């Protein structure tokens, strides 16, 4: 028999599940806009996770079981292939590659590759690299990391590539937790969390997305002529609120 406290927790869990699932339905179906802000959604989801852990109650349709891509491993085809970069330690190779062109250098990011899709100013999908041709839908996990705005001031289609990273400082903090003990380095941690099908939202907030290129940028105002090089792309992405790689021209 439930105590009053247990009954209250059960009622709250049921209420939060209904509230969050309704917000998701409105958000993804696009029939009407949810009144719930992203900040409110995160707060309610965190509360639900804590209540489920404390009470042992988890409803079959709980949104905490839907974080990350689908369990069946369904894959999505990339807009353009995610090819591997050629590595070299010889400056002459770089000079030969550039030829008469001016190059831009950046720090190499070591984390988890992420491709973001925006339409009408709204984040509609996030994919992992996968095999370069097909990637997994990791939208719900990616929404929870830093540096990924859910809405931007760009109304046309925008596809961005970047890296989900974990700083050494954040890695050391996470390593001290029970969930973080199994990760050997920041790269494995970032990849493990972003591709996880389990509920890891509290740890995902320690990661950050850093953009390094725009795969497709559609806009009447910003035609391809406006972006003469990678630097122009990144400067524009920065105005939209993205954190970009540091460039040395």
SS (H, E, C) 62-125: CHHHCCCCCCCCCEEECCCCCCCCCCCCCHHHHHHHHCCCCCCEECCCCCEEEEEEEECCEEEE
Quick one: pLDDT at residue 146? 92
Let me know: does 59 contact 84? Beta carbons within 8 Å.
no
**Domains of the chain (ranges plus CATH)?**
4-65 (1.10.287.610), 75-248 (3.30.470.30)
Quick one: pLDDT at residue 65? 63
Tell the residue number behind the tokens 């409110």, with chain if given: 40
Quick one: pLDDT at residue 207? 92
State the Cα–Cα distance between residues 12 and 56, nearest whole angstrom.
13
Quick one: pLDDT at residue 228? 67
Provide the residue-wise pLDDT of the chain in tens; the chain has 249 residues: 447 777 788 888 889 988 888 877 765 544 445 577 767 877 888 788 878 877 777 776 788 765 433 433 467 777 777 776 666 778 888 888 888 888 877 777 888 899 999 988 889 889 988 878 888 888 888 998 999 999 998 877 888 999 999 998 888 888 887 666 777 788 888 888 888 776 555 788 889 999 998 877 655 555 555 666 778 888 889 999 999 986 443
Other Cβ atoms closer than 10 A to 1: 4
Quick one: pLDDT at residue 244? 92
Q: Calculate the dihedral angle through the C-alpha atoms of 97, 103, 107, 112, rounding to the nearest 10 degrees.
A: -70
Q: How far is CA 86 from the centre of its chain?
A: 25
Among 66, 75, 77, 108, which one carries the catalytic annotation? 108
Quick one: pLDDT at residue 73? 44
Quick one: pLDDT at residue 142? 92
Quick one: pLDDT at residue 161? 92
Tokens of 170: 């954040």
108 as an active site residue: the answer is: yes
Quick one: pLDDT at residue 248? 41
């Amino acid at each position: 028999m439930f105590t009053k406290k247990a009954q209250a927790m059960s009622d709250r869990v049921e209420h939060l599940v209904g509230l969050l699932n309704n917000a998701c339905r409105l958000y993804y179906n696009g029939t009407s806009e949810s009144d719930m802000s992203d900040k409110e959604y995160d707060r309610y989801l965190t509360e639900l996770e804590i209540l489920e852990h404390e009470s042992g109650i988890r409803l079959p349709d709980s949104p905490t079981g839907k974080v990350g891509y689908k369990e069946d491993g369904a894959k999505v085809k990339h807009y353009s292939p995610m090819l591997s970069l050629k590595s070299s330690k010889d400056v002459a190779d770089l000079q030969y590659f550039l030829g008469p062109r001016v190059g831009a250098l950046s720090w190499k990011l070591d984390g988890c590759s992420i491709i973001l899709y925006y339409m009408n100013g709204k984040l509609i999908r996030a994919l992992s690299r996968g095999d370069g041709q097909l990637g997994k839908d990791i939208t719900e996990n990616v929404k929870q990391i830093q540096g990924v705005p859910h809405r931007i001031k760009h109304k046309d289609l925008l596809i961005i590539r970047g890296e989900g990273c974990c700083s050494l400082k954040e890695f050391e903090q996470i390593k001290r937790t029970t969930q973080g003990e199994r990760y050997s380095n920041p790269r494995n941690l970032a990849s493990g969390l972003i591709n996880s099908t389990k509920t890891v939202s509290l740890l995902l907030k320690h990661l950050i997305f850093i953009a390094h290129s725009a795969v497709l940028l559609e806009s009447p105002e910003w035609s391809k002529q406006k972006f003469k090089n990678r630097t122009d792309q990144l400067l524009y992405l920065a105005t939209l609120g993205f954190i970009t790689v540091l460039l040395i021209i």
